[in-house]
Structure 1
Amino acid sequence: MKLLRRIATVLLVSLISVGGYAQKNFAKEADAKFANEQYFSAIDAYKKAETKAKPAEKARINFQLGECYRMLVDPTQAETFYRRAIKLKYDKVNPIVIFQLAEVIKEEGEYKEAAEQYEKFLKVKPGIKMAEDGLAACEKSQEWINNKTRHIIVAEVQLNTDKYDFSPVFADRKYNQLIFSSSREGSTGAEIDDRTGESFMDLWATTRDNNGKWSEPKPLSSSINTEDNEGAAAFNRKMNTMYFTRCPREKKHNIGCDIMVSQQQGSNWKSATSVGLKPEGGDTITVGHPCLSADDQVMIFASDMPGGFGGKDLWITKWDRKAKKWGPSSNLGETINTAGDEMFPHLKPDGSLYFSSTGHLGMGGLDMFKAEKTGENQWGNIQNLGYPLNSSEHDFGIIFDRGDTEKGFFTSSRINGKGHDDIYSFKVPQIQFTWTVEVKNKATFEPVPGATITLVGSDGTSVTRTTDETGKYKFDEENANRLIKKETNYTIEISKTDFLIGNGSVSTVGRTTGKNFYSAYEIQPATKDVVIDFPEVRYDLDKWALQVNETINSEDSLDYLYTTLTENPTIVIELQSHTDCRGSDSYNQKLSQKRAQSCVDYLITKGIPSDRMVPVGYGEKQPRGPKFECGEIDKLPTEEEQEAAHQKNRRTQFRVLSFDYKPAGGSE
């Protein structure tokens, strides 16, 4: 990350600074080092200069020390020196110190306190968009934390050291080799980088075995790595051409980074040459962080070349097939670029652009964002990737494993890391569903073991399983295959000899979190001696036509039986009709037979074959029970109770005669 990171402090100072101090002779060395981005060396020089500085200069030096630590991604130390500068009244000379204090406090995740500092700054300098955005981000960050995404973040301990390890990129077609940037021991050259106080960055390679374990990283050859900084690489689709960032150094001069290119030669790489994106005379301009489109015809990169919107912007160049070189560069525009820094781009195969930014609303430092492809070489609809992919610290350099949106790698300086910048993997765990089905006997409420459950999914899958001794079966995972998948509708059919079929359904469509479904079903025993009730069918007095009026629709009641017959296509039933005991036996017998026939006739109109139903009128011969015999009913104290008892006897029921019905002319 240190290869290109230069926050837009100069822009802010030019916008809001109300004064400055001439460079003192004893601070010239420190200021020169800072201007040349030698932040580590500048710290020592500033501390020496402070011992002899007058109060006003001491205040400026403390601010500069804060800037050095901020650029070295040490927000705690930066906060200390910003507060010292404010105590020495530097905020009266240059209010930017309040803004930068707010920035590093936000980077430490202290959003409430950071918001207070942004508000203080805006009272002095109202209307500064970066401060307004910083204030809004404090509130938004808490929302992201409270509504975290499902990503699981894991530090790659086999790759990380106590140094800088960042910006991994896949380097083979099988997605098993990573090349990343690191300042670990063993880098080319023995000198210390004045910017970081550590070894210079090199590109290192590691390979993942079948168990997912990374090999010991090895530096690339001297045709790639030099005594300067190298990092932030990208590959073409054939994985035989590598583009990467190199930052040369020259004493007392700030030479900008450049994008280099090298072709594979056997197991090695040819000497790298400049891609040539810098304009003529632009030695101090920085270009880096290349990424390529899926067809290798577009490169997006970060640069501070003139014509941008802030610190580092994202730029685009197209491959000129005729000239066999990259063409003129153009800025991606203000939808993507801000007054802050936009860096570390990555293009997915679907054209989506991922990048990191300090200018868009984020949690602190660099946040990672996604921009949708909205046209040819155009992107918009920017979305912050949210927490925990982003943190209050710097998060950048996201890549995806095999183009998958669900897993990959990125870099972060978040707390509890092993080094300054560490490599992390991420994945979205599979949304998992299970469905436990419990089957009971509707008459006894006892478990029904050995019931057959057939599960059918809207994706065309179908499995059949059997309940255990407790009457249960759990559809879970079998042979690494989830039986209940996301975005699928499921139905079950429950069957067992001498029982009516039961049905049920669940759906995972639209669900963003997993669920353990649980459903209990009662299936109806249906042996010949079992008489089954269904919703009440009514008739007018002394009539056999189905009663249909504003208060009751007896056809709806029979629709229950219709559903039972369609769900159990092999049963033949006896449809029974009963009357109360008022009236003569012969009259009640005839009336009940006609009422049973009315029910059968209605079901025939619905498409049920007549030979599946036997209408039988029982008259008053079979009261519902001993308490419902006429003599017993007459003993009830009120007419209302007597009428209710008679109503219990006036009923329509059915029982199953057989389970082996075959349509006339049907196959055996």
Structure 2
Amino acid sequence: MVIREKIQSMGMFISVVVFLPLLTQAQSEVKIYQDADAYMRQEEYDLAVDAFQYISDLPDVKYKSTISALLSKKYRYRSIDAYLEFEAEKDKDPLYYYWLGKIYLRRNILSIASENLNQFLKMSEGMNKLDSYRQEAQFKLQFVNAAETAYAVTPIESPINSNFAEMSGVLFEDETKLLFASDRLVEGKFDIYLTEKGPYGWNAPKVISQSPVDADHLNLLYVRGTFMYYDQQTNQLHEMEIGANDWKALSKVETLDLAQVQHIYMNKYKTRLIFSKLTVDNGMEIFESLKLRSTGDWMAPVLISPQISSRYNEDYPYLTDDNKRLYFTSDRPGGLGKRDIYYSDFDEVKNVWGPPINAGIPINTVDDDFDFRLSSNDEAVFSSDRIESTGDYDLFVLKLKE
């Protein structure tokens, strides 16, 4: 009797030892699946695809993992054929055409994205549980339908862009020289590069700065034929002389205190500063200061406009020479991507800035688009990590189609 009880107790013990890890593993996979699914809904696709790879047997894992991969930044270059293999899902998953539309939008293939998003709206009509997805599809279609067709956006040709980040592109007036920043030598630290356009395109860029800086205070300004550079160590703007292989500071630019200022614009008369600065309550805000003609003093900075301000981040201000349009970057809700380029037009009658307008497609994408600067009447340079980029952020040019 004692032996039998011992065997039974031993058997029970063994079964518990074997069963508990299996139960724990199953519970763990369910939790990971729930987390991955939540990442998809939050459009955190890189996190979703990384989570899905730890799950093996739960339903829809391969299907949702493929969707997440094609919408992620890390795996976005995979062939769409990987999703089309799940064509049978269109009879089971009412979101099949929604995801396909977003995948094509990710690749800036607008006509097919529109076709699939409209197909989703047609098939999901009356499905109340899909209302949030329907609203999102309708929202994206507004951007697609309003896409500007008179302009084309192309990456600046090789060898400017690299697998690292390229930012703050400034074209000289004759557009045969380009100044820009890149962290290709030390990731996260930006050196200043100079390149010239030869008979066969841009020449290999050369480093002309003495020490790298971080992106938060990276400022290259081109003010009426003069280059200016913001020195993070002294919080001071300097006029710079550009040589063939280097540059040097000529003189300080007399301004207000620029401590903790991030990205700066100065007008061609050097009498107006517009800049972004982190605030306690409202994230990054855009301020301005004017130089008084009577005394030469700079006025205390003020918020440029309550219309432009939000509870989110406004950055990278750029004012057109006629003072009528202010471009800036924001991560506010209602954009096409993570950060979008917006503009506000000045109402000369009311003497106020108008409501911000999203610059739309093709300037904005579902990725990061920022630091928009005009270089001529029909050309602009900005940074983006859209699918056409070679790695991290690249410099892109907006041109009027011929």
1:411 to 378, 383, 390: 383
One-letter code aligned to 2:272: V
> 2:140 aligns to what SS in structure 1?
helix
Matches within 5 A, 1:152-163: 152-158=152-158, 159-163=160-164
- The equivalent of 2:140 in structure 1 is 141
Q: What amino acid does structure 1 have at the position aligned with 2:190?
A: M
Contact 2:193 2:207 in 1 (8 A): yes
Is the alpha carbon distance of 1:236 and 1:200 closer, same or farther for their aligned partners in structure 2, counting shifts above 3 Å? same
In structure 2, what is the Cα distance between the partners aligned to 1:135 and 1:300? Answer: 39
In the aligned structure 2, how far is the partner of 1:328 from the partner of 1:136?
44
2:221 to 228, 234, 237: 234
* Residues 598-613 of structure 1: pairs in structure 2 closer than 5 A: none
Q: 1:200 deviation in Å?
A: 1.0
Q: What code does the residue aligned with 1:160 have? A: N
Equivalence for 1:394: 368
Q: Distance in 1 between matches of 2:46 and 2:72?
A: 13
Whether the aligned pair in 2 keeps the contact of 1:277 and 1:328 (CA below 8 Å) is: no
**C-alpha contact (below 8 Å) 1:409/1:423 kept by paired residues:** yes
Taking the aligned partners of 1:205 and 1:355, their CA distance within structure 2 comes to: 25
Aligned: 1:362 with 2:335: yes
User: Residue 303 of structure 1 contacts residue 313 of structure 1 at CA under 8 Å; is this kept in 2?
Assistant: yes
Q: Distance in 1 between matches of 2:299 and 2:285?
A: 18
Which of 178, 189, 202 is residue 200 of structure 1 equivalent to? 189
> Contact 2:235/2:258 (CA < 8 Å) preserved in 1?
no
Counterpart Cα distance in 2 of 1:107 and 1:161: 27
User: Which residues in structure 2 correspond to 1:245-644 (within 5 Å)?
Assistant: 246=232, 260-265=236-241, 267=243, 268-270=247-249, 276-277=256-257, 286-306=260-280, 310-321=282-293, 324=296, 326-351=298-323, 352-359=325-332, 361-375=334-348, 378-402=352-376, 404=377, 406-430=378-402
Q: Secondary structure at the match of 2:334?
A: coil
Counterpart-to-counterpart distance in 2, 1:266 and 1:163: 24
- The aligned amino acid for 1:277 is D
Cα pair distance change 1:294/1:305, threshold 3 Å: same
- The AA in structure 1 aligned to 2:397 is S
How far 1:361 moved relative to its partner?
2.5
Report Cα offsets for 1:358-400 as digits up to 9, x if no partner.
1152101111112112249842143221112110001111122
Asked whether the equivalents of residues 145 and 387 of structure 1 are also in contact (C-alpha less than 8 Å), the reply is yes
Contact 2:370 2:382 in 1 (8 A): yes
- Once the two structures are superposed, residues 488-530 of structure 1 have per-residue CA deviations (whole angstroms, 9 ceiling, x without a partner) of xxxxxxxxxxxxxxxxxxxxxxxxxxxxxxxxxxxxxxxxxxx
Cα 1:178/1:342, change in 2 over 3 Å: same
Residues 600-645 of structure 1, C-alpha deviations (whole Å, 9 max, x = no match)? xxxxxxxxxxxxxxxxxxxxxxxxxxxxxxxxxxxxxxxxxxxxxx
Q: Which residue does 1:216 correspond to in 2?
A: 204
- Kept after mapping to 1: 8 A contact 2:229/2:240: no
Cα distance change on mapping 1:245 and 1:79 into 2, 3 Å: farther
Q: Which residue of 1 aligns with 2:56?
A: none
Q: Structure 1 144/330 Cα, relative in aligned 2: closer, same or farther at 3 Å?
A: same
**3-state SS in 1 of match to 2:367:** coil
| Number of the residue aligned with 1:244 | 230
Letter in 2 for 1:239: T
- Name the SS of the counterpart of 2:230 in structure 1: strand
8 A Cα contact 2:168 2:181, kept in partner: yes
Query: Is the Cα–Cα contact under 8 Å of residues 235 and 243 in structure 1 kept in the other structure?
Result: no
Q: How does 1:111-126 map to 2 (within 5 A)?
A: none
**Post-superposition CA distance 1:446-475 (Å, at most 9, x none):** xxxxxxxxxxxxxxxxxxxxxxxxxxxxxx
Matching residue of 1:37: none
Task: After TM superposition, give the deviation of residue 326 of structure 1 in Å.
Answer: 3.9
Asked if the contact 1:340–1:357 (Cα under 8 Å) also holds between the matched residues in 2, the reply is yes
Deviation of residue 156 (structure 1)?
1.4
Q: Which moved more, 1:312-321 or 1:322-331?
A: 322-331
Who is 1:178 aligned against? 178
8 Å CA contact 1:138, 1:363 repeated in 2: no
Distance of 1:138 and 1:277 partners within structure 2: 46
Distance in 2, matches of 1:407 and 1:149, equals: 14
Aligned partners of 1:178, 1:135: CA distance in 2, in Å?
Answer: 44
In 2, distance between residues paired with 1:235 and 1:356?
19
Contact preservation (8 Å) 2:188, 2:214: no
Cα distance in 1, alignment partners of residues 290 and 72 from structure 2 = 36
- Cα drift, residue 157 of structure 1: 3.0
The 1:226/1:426 distance shift into structure 2, 3 A limit, reads: closer
Offset at residue 316 of structure 1 (A):
0.9
Give 1:99-114 correspondences, 5 Å limit.
none
Assess if the C-alpha contact under 8 Å between 1:261 and 1:273 holds in 2. yes
Question: Structure 2 regions of 5+ residues with no counterpart?
Answer: 1-27, 54-70, 74-98, 107-112, 118-131
* 1:477 aligned partner: none
User: 1:349, 1:365 → 2: CA distance?
Assistant: 28
Does the Cα contact within 8 Å between 2:155 and 2:388 map onto a contact in 1? Answer: no
Structure-2 change in CA distance of 1:135 and 1:220 (3 Å): farther
- Partner of 1:401, secondary structure, is strand
Residue 327 of structure 1: how far off its partner (Å): 3.2
Post-superposition shift, 1:184? 0.9
Conserved 8 A contact 1:173-1:239: no
Work out whether residues 394 and 414 of structure 1, in 8 Å CA contact, stay in contact via their aligned partners in 2: yes
Compared CA separation, residues 207 and 144, structure 1 to 2 (3 A): same
1:95 maps to none
Give the counterpart letter for 1:201 in structure 2. Answer: F
Q: CA deviation at 1:136?
A: 6.2
- Contact 1:237–1:296 (Cα < 8 Å) also in 2: no
User: Is contact 1:107–1:364 with CA below 8 Å preserved after alignment?
Assistant: no
Q: Indicate the SS of the match to 2:139.
A: helix
Asked if 1:76 corresponds to 2:77, the answer is no
Query: Are the structure 2 counterparts of residues 182 and 265 from structure 1 closer, same or farther at C-alpha, using a change threshold of 3 Å?
Result: closer
Does the residue aligned with 2:312 lie in a helix, a strand or coil? coil
CA contact (8 A) 1:244 1:288 kept: no
Looking at structure 2, the residues matched to 335 and 238 of structure 1 have their Cα atoms a distance apart, in angstroms, of 32
The answer to whether the Cα contact below 8 Å between 2:239 and 2:252 also exists between their aligned partners in 1 is no
C-alpha distance 262-420 of structure 1, shift in aligned 2 (>3 A): same
User: Number of residues paired by the alignment?
Assistant: 294
Q: Which amino acid in structure 1 is aligned with residue 249 of structure 2? A: K
Q: 1:269 to 1:340 in 2, by over 3 A?
A: same
Structure 1, unpaired ranges of 5+: 1-54, 85-101, 113-131, 188-197, 249-257, 280-285, 431-668
